Structure formats: C-alpha cells, structure tokens
Chains A and B, each alone.
Chain A
C-alpha cells in the first residue's frame, strides 16, 4: 500500500512538471552528442546450478551450491559516448555506445576429514570474474518536461559484445563465509573469455534527470539491464580454459546477468532549431 501511495505521489509530480513544461521550452535542439561515465553493479540471475564435485552419501554436504554476492558487491566501470535524436521535444531515441566492465563473484567451500591423522581439511574459495565488453544500446526516452530540469524514463535494447574476461580465485583454510583478499592465497589471473557467450542482447529500462542549458546539457540516469542470453557457453562450460576447473573444483552455473548502471552524461546540442 505504501508503494502504491508513493507511486501516486511521484506520478502526480511528473504530471505537474509535464503540464508546466508546455509553457516553457528549454530544450530547443534535436541532436545531442556527448560523453558519459559511470559505474555498474552486476548480479547473476541463476537459471541452473552446476557443480564439478558431485555430492555422494559420503560427502559432508548434500550439494555444492555457490553463494553469490549481492548486486552492490560487484561493481564495474562504464565510459562511452552519447548520441540522441529528438522526434519531439519530449520523445527521443538515444544511443550510448560504451565500454563496460562487469564483475561477479561467488564463494564455495569444501571439507574433508583425515581420519588417520585426526586432522580436518577446510577450503573456502572466493571466485571473482570480470567481463569487459562493448555495449551498443538503443533507448527510447520520454522526458516529462521541457524545462531546464527534466526527469525522464527510458527503455530499449542493447547489443553487448564481450571482448575479454578474466578470473581469479582466492582461498583460505577457514569456512566462515569470508575470504579476505588481502591475506588469502590467490591464483594467477586467468583468461576466461572462451567460456562466454561473446554476444548478448540486453533489455534496458530506467530513468533519470536532465539539466539543459543553451549550449550544454547534463543528465544522470539509472538503468537496469538484463541479458537475455545466458552468459556462459553451454558447450564450453566444462572446458578448462582457465586451468582452474579441476584445481579449484569450479564450473560456472547457468545464469543471466542483471546490471544496474548509473551514468553521468555531458551533452552538447547541434543547434538545429525546431
């Protein structure tokens, strides 16, 4: 119910701004070009789990499911260009081709008993993956106002081309859901690219606010992005390109990446008046 009232207030404000904007038009140009920078947060959305180590009745665990970090534990950078074309003062199409880095991490742990020596062996691993890609999005943007400050909503699709991915594993000998990267033993950084579906399509949706001046415009946007294809190539899931599969008992799950991208954009208009 709280959400409903919140939405109603927000919608009323938007409508107010929209009504006001009919009187004062600050956005006079159809073409804008610019640059953008920002950061993204990434979360795998799991479809199917895989494990290289198969649990048996003689295992300590019933399964070896990975524990993924949350969205805000996996940050990456974004930088690129901005181009937009306005069909009307409030309705435009936007492309923001950019380089982006997505990270995701997960943990797993194993335990064996050494019954002769009376010792216990504990292993906890933190797996960190980084995917660098070129993203070419096309968004339809609706501005609620023609004022200097203009909130907007946008939606669209994006073509993502992953050109490099890497992976590193950190390990310690305590199972406490925490692997300190500073003190843990780490593997070398291995290339992970061949495991990926290199081409992906993402659905985008979000909003933000723009500020228009005569010769420059700024915007801050937040966009949710959901990759429609799974990130890992099913045929190469178990191929040990990193050399870490049997060494760290690692195989990637089947998942789609969900990202929240926060972008700051500086644009200049081409002065082609309405």
Chain B
C-alpha cells in the first residue's frame, strides 16, 4: 500500500516535468499605443524593420495629414515617438529602407512639393535630405532595390505622374504620366488629409523588373496601369469609375499576381491571377473569389511568408463586423486557413510584415473605448502560424 502510494506520487511528479518545452522565444502580443489627447486621431500608414536593432518603425498620420513616427521593440513595447514639425505633412504610406537607411517621403504644406527625410535611428530625429519641386502632392513611394519611384498627382493637373528619382535622391531623372481626364482634386485632398475615402495608391514592380504596376487615377477611373521599365504605358485594368478596381497587388513573377479587388460593395481575392501587362481590360474581368463579410472601403494587405519551409500568401483584410480577417493560401493558390483576430472594437488593417524570426506582425488602427483611433500592433508567433497551417 505504502509503496503504491509513493509510486503514484512519483509518477505524477515525473509526468509533470517530462513535458515537451514549447518555444518561448516567439510569443504573440497585442499592443495599443496610448495618447491621452482624446481629440487626436491616428491613421497608421506603414511599418518597417529598424536597421540598427530588431525593433520596428511605424509611420502614421494624425490630426489629418500631420506625421507621427513611432519606434517599438520586437515585442511591441513602446520605445520612442516623434511628431514631425508642421512643415512636413502628408507622409506617403511607405517607409523605405534604402541602403540600410530609413527614409520617408512627405510634402511641404505651403510649397506642396515632396520632401525626402532620412530617419536617424540613433539620435531619434528626421533629417531632410532633399526636396523635389517637380513632385507635387506625392501619393506613394516605392524602392525596387536600385531606384526610388514616386507617384504624384498635382492639383488641377488632371494628371498622375510617376517619377524616377536619382540615386542621390535629389532630382527626378525620368517621368511617366497618365491623363486622368477628370477633376479629382476633391478626392485627392480628402485622401491626403485623411478626411475621406483612402485610395489604395501603389507602385509595384514585377520580380523580373520589366513592368511597373501602378494603382492610380487614370482615364476617368481608379485603375491599375502597367508601365514598362522606361515608364511607358503598356496596359491597364480599369476600375469602375472612382470606385472599385484592384485594391492590392503582390507580384509573384511570370505575370502572376496575388491580388484583391473590389466591385460594388464586395472584396474579391485571387492568390494566383495571371495578368497581361499589355492588356486593356476591366478589373472585374479578373477571376477572383468574393467575400461579402469584408469591408470594401478598407485596405487588403498581401504578403509572402514561409512557414515550416513552405511558401504561403497571407491576405489581411478588415471585416464589416470589426475584426481582422487573415487568410492563408499555399503556393498552389489553395486556401489553407482563414482566421479572425480581435473582437468587439472597430479595427482596420493597415500594414503587415513577415519578420526575420518567422512571425507575422500586423499594424492596425484600433478605436478604443468606442472613441479614440489609436495605433495597434498584433503579432502572431511562429508556433501560432504553424498551428494555423496545420489546421490545429
């Protein structure tokens, strides 16, 4: 009797301490960054990894088009922030890593031309390195590894212009232009001042670097226009007037793209669409799977990532019922998982990064206490992602 009782106790103790130890180097988190000013409203724009450590920078707009820069560590803990002076407004939603230096592009509110600022990560300040007089009302910036491209849409010009910037980032060396043939000034001002619809402007290049896909106003519509490498018009997938069209595009190579498009009040997704850069077609002609629960006015973010050595595409969107929706597709384009993040408060997807540690870091706008728009970050750990794709 005594022996059996002691054996039982010993068995329980050994059983407890013989369990497999989980990986605690990568833990998930949700963080919301506070500001006691109840009137201040933040719209997160972009997130990128710091170059001097493992933290992340978050670029946001606040109080309309003012610019806010925040640094957090890899666990989402706040480190420092910076409200840029009023002479810099309208940051484009791209934090650029150019030769291991971080840059942002914004605008002077009086001159209305583009300013390129370098972020000094050590001294925690921004330094203006150039202003480009010929780039008025910048809307997007894209660095393809060798050259910086800016999109602008000068007021009253009825033109969308793509500018290739010199290596020194101080002059425009090449320009491609699109005629809008309509006055979009009102839409443009509401977009840059964050007082109306936010258009998904972007410039993307194909992995072969033979084409640029540009989401911009073009020919009475908001469309996806293909330029060749000399910034000459090649083809277009037209949106439905100023509403609808492609909202997010991720080039996969060989004219294959992962994309999201909107039509009517619905969002459609295709993780493996073949587009012809020379075609002149309607975006609605692109075959895609619809999802009625997604909010068509909010962005969809597409990123490639690797889980357990396999490539996946992650689509992050916002539902009409105040949740983030994360959909994972495998290389063949088959959906492997759809999951919901957050509950009960308005939340909007803003950006997403696949970290060097195999984690998925998401940037969101969260309305806390039903009142205050704040910057939020959500990280899914490696093990969370493995569970997702393994269907646990």
30 contacts between A and B (CB under 8 A): A53-B34, A54-B32, A54-B78, A55-B34, A56-B34, A56-B78, A57-B81, A58-B37, A58-B40, A59-B34, A59-B35, A87-B2, A110-B369, A112-B369, A114-B38, A121-B371, A138-B8, A138-B9, A199-B16, A201-B12, A235-B22, A235-B28, A238-B28, A240-B30, A240-B342, A243-B343, A245-B343, A246-B30, A246-B368, A247-B345
Which residue of chain A lies nearest to B8 when distances are taken between CB atoms in the complex? Answer: A138
Within 8 A of B (CB), among A115-172: 115-116, 119, 121, 123, 138, 157, 159
Chain A contacts with B in 187-221, Cβ cutoff 8 A: 199, 201
B198 contacts chain A at the CB level, 8 A cutoff: no
B35 and A58 contacting across the interface, CB-CB below 8 Å? yes
**A251–B39 CB distance below 8 A:** no
How far is B371's CA from A182's CA once the two chains are assembled, in angstroms?
26
Q: Please tell me which one of the listed residues A54, A112, A237, A245 contacts residue B38 in the complex, with CB atoms under 8 A apart.
A: A112
User: Known contacts A113-B38, A234-B24: does B32 contact A52 (CB below 8 Å)?
Assistant: yes
Cβ-defined contact, B371 with A54, below 8 A:
no
Q: Does A82 contact B (CB under 8 A)?
A: no
> Is B223 part of the binding interface, using a Cβ–Cβ cutoff of 8 Å?
no
Q: How far is the CB of B86 from chain A (nearest CB, A)?
A: 17
The yes or no answer to A28 lying at the interface (CB within 8 A) is: no
CA–CA, A190 and B29, complex, Å: 21
**B38 and A121 form a contact (CB under 8 A):** yes
Q: State which residues 10-40 of B face A: CB under 8 Å.
A: 12-13, 16, 22, 24, 27-40
Question: Does A60 sit within 8 A of B, measured CB to CB?
Answer: yes
> Known contacts A201-B16, A246-B366; is A85 also within 8 Å of B36 by CB?
no
Q: Which among A57, A237, A238, A243 is the interface contact of B344 at CB below 8 angstroms?
A: A243
A-B pairs, 4 with minimum CB distance? A114-B38, A112-B38, A243-B343, A58-B35
**Chain B CB within 8 A of A249 CB:** yes
User: Do A246 and B343 have beta carbons less than 8 Å apart?
Assistant: yes
- The 8 A CB mask of B28-71 against A (1 = contact, 0 = none) is 11111111111110000000000000000000000000000010
CB distance from B38 to the nearest CB of A (A): 4
**A60-B36, A115-B39 known; A246 vs B347 contact (CB < 8 Å):** yes
In the assembled complex, the Cα of A159 lies from the Cα of B12 at a distance in Å of 8
The contact string, 1 if C-beta is below 8 Å from chain B, for chain A 85-129, is 101000001000000000000000011111110010101000000
Instruction: Assess whether A113 is in contact with B32, with CB atoms less than 8 Å apart.
Output: no
Q: How far is the CA of A199 from the CA of B36 in the complex (A)?
A: 40
Give chain A's interface secondary structure class.
mixed
A54, B33: Cβ atoms closer than 8 Å: yes
What separation, in Å, do the CA atoms of A121 and B30 have in the docked complex?
23
B contact residues around A239 at 8 Å (CB): 28
Shortest CB-to-CB span from B60 to chain A, Å, is 12
A56 to B34, CA, bound (A): 6
In the complex, are the beta carbons of A235 and B383 less than 8 A apart?
Answer: yes
Residue on A nearest B16 in the bound complex, by CB: A201
Closest residue of B by beta carbon distance from A116: B39
For A58, the chain B residues whose CB sits under 8 A away are 34-37, 40, 81
Q: Which residue of B lies closest to A54 (CB)?
A: B78
Residue with the greatest number of chain A CB neighbours at <10 A, chosen from B28, B30, B70: B30
Report A's interface with B, CB cutoff 8 A.
Answer: 52-60, 85, 87, 93, 110-116, 119, 121, 123, 138, 157, 159, 199, 201, 234-235, 237-240, 243-247, 249, 251
Is B366 in contact with A123, judged by CB distance below 8 angstroms?
no
Kindly state whether residue B384 has any CB partner on chain A within 8 Å.
Answer: yes
Do B77 and A112 touch across chains, with their CB atoms under 8 A apart? no
Most B-side CB within 10 Å, residue of A110, A138, A235: A235
Contact across chains for B344 and A114 when beta carbons are under 8 A apart = no
A144 smallest CB distance to B (angstroms): 22
Which residues does chain A contribute within 8 Å of B343, judged by CB atoms?
Answer: 240, 243, 245-247
The answer to whether B32 and A56 have CB atoms under 8 Å apart is no
Q: Say how far A189's CB is from chain B's closest CB, in angstroms.
A: 15
**CB closest residue in chain A, given B26:** A235
- Tell me which residues across on chain B come within 8 A of A234, comparing CB atoms: 24, 27
B1 within 8 A of A: yes
Q: Which residues of B contact A59 (CB under 8 A)?
A: 34-36
Q: How far is the CB of A128 from chain B (nearest CB, A)?
A: 19
Given contacts A235-B22, A246-B366, contact A53 B32 (CB under 8 A): yes
From A240, which residue of chain B is reached at the shortest CB distance? B343
Once bound together, how far apart are the Cα atoms of A51 and B67, in whole Å?
26
Q: Do A93 and B78 touch (CB < 8 A)?
A: no
Residues of B within 8 A of A115 (CB): 37-39
Q: Residue B372 at the A interface, CB < 8 A?
A: yes
Contacts of A243 in B (CB 8 A): 343-344
The complex places the Cα of A134 from the Cα of B174 at a distance, in Å, of 73
A169 CB → nearest B CB, Å: 12
A121 touches B35 (CB 8 A): no
Closest chain B residue to A114, Cβ basis: B38
Taking CB atoms, residues of chain B closer than 8 Å to A245 are 30, 342-343
* Interchain nearest-CB distance for B152 vs A (Å): 32
Complex alpha-carbon distance, A264 and B292, angstroms: 60
Residues 357-387 of chain B: 1 if any A CB is under 8 Å from the residue's CB, otherwise 0?
0000000001011011000101001011000
Is B76 part of the contact surface with A, judged by Cβ < 8 Å? Answer: yes
Measured CB to CB, the closest approach of chain B to A157, in angstroms, equals 7
Contact assessment for B369 and A238 in the assembled complex, using a CB-CB cutoff below 8 Å: no
Output the least CB separation between B71 and chain A (Å): 11
Residue of A112, A113, A157 near B9 (CB, 8 A) is: A157
Chain A residue contacts of B35, Cβ below 8 A: 56, 58-59
